[in-house]
Amino acid sequence: MSAYHWENTNNLRVVKTLFDLDEITQAQQEGNIIIMREHVNHPLLTVGMHIYKNVKTGEFRKARGRTYTRQYSCEQITEYPIEEWEEVLFYRENLRKVDYDFGAYVLPGDAKVGEKFYIENLIESVYSGSFWEANFYSVDTDATWDGEDLKIEKRMNHLVG
């Protein structure tokens, strides 16, 4: 459940990301190219979660499951035994928490076809690898302007996989 920052290591021109319609309107009126995008979660960036209720105390807890494996010892641990904890809900939780449904990428009006840009804040949830049980997403990346749309570079983190 971790974010991966690629950084603008190639010193590319920056694509701004806006979420406010008035700001998007102003950016277009200033001659910028606007690319609207819906926020879409990648299927690998959700995780099944359970809500358990203690049958004696009524306390609620959230967990990935009744048992889990410690990362380094590989020892099985039972956290929520069925005789003590009732499962009251199973749901899918998004790993990348966002408070928007859409946004706009703002490219300079003089963008050239084939030009590569750096997006400092991705609208979409882009999967960038996994390690043990943790999946990682990119918060920034490079993209290429094709004259109509930005083609987002989906890079894999070389430290995870």
Residue 131 above 80 pLDDT? no
pLDDT of residue 25: 95
pLDDT at residue 160 in the model: 43
- The verdict on residue 160 lying in a domain is no
The alpha carbon torsion through 26, 30, 35, 38 (nearest 10 deg) reads -10
Alpha carbon 18 to its chain's center: 17
How many Cβ atoms from other residues are within 10 Å of residue 83's Cβ?
A: 6
Nearest Cα residue to 47 out of 156, 159, 138, 127: 127
Shared domain check, 61 and 33: no
Domain co-membership, 87 together with 24: no
Helix (H, G, I), strand (E, B) or coil at 14: strand
Count up the domains in the chain and report the number.
2
Does residue 161 sit within a domain?
no
What is the span of the domain harbouring residue 89?
A: 47-93
pTM given for the model = 0.68
Stretch among 38-47, 126-135, 138-147 having the lowest mean pLDDT? 126-135
34 falls within a domain: yes
Task: Tell me, yes or no, whether 88 and 135 share the same domain.
Answer: no
Which DSSP helix (H) or strand (E) runs through 71? Answer: none
- Are 61 and 35 in a shared domain? no
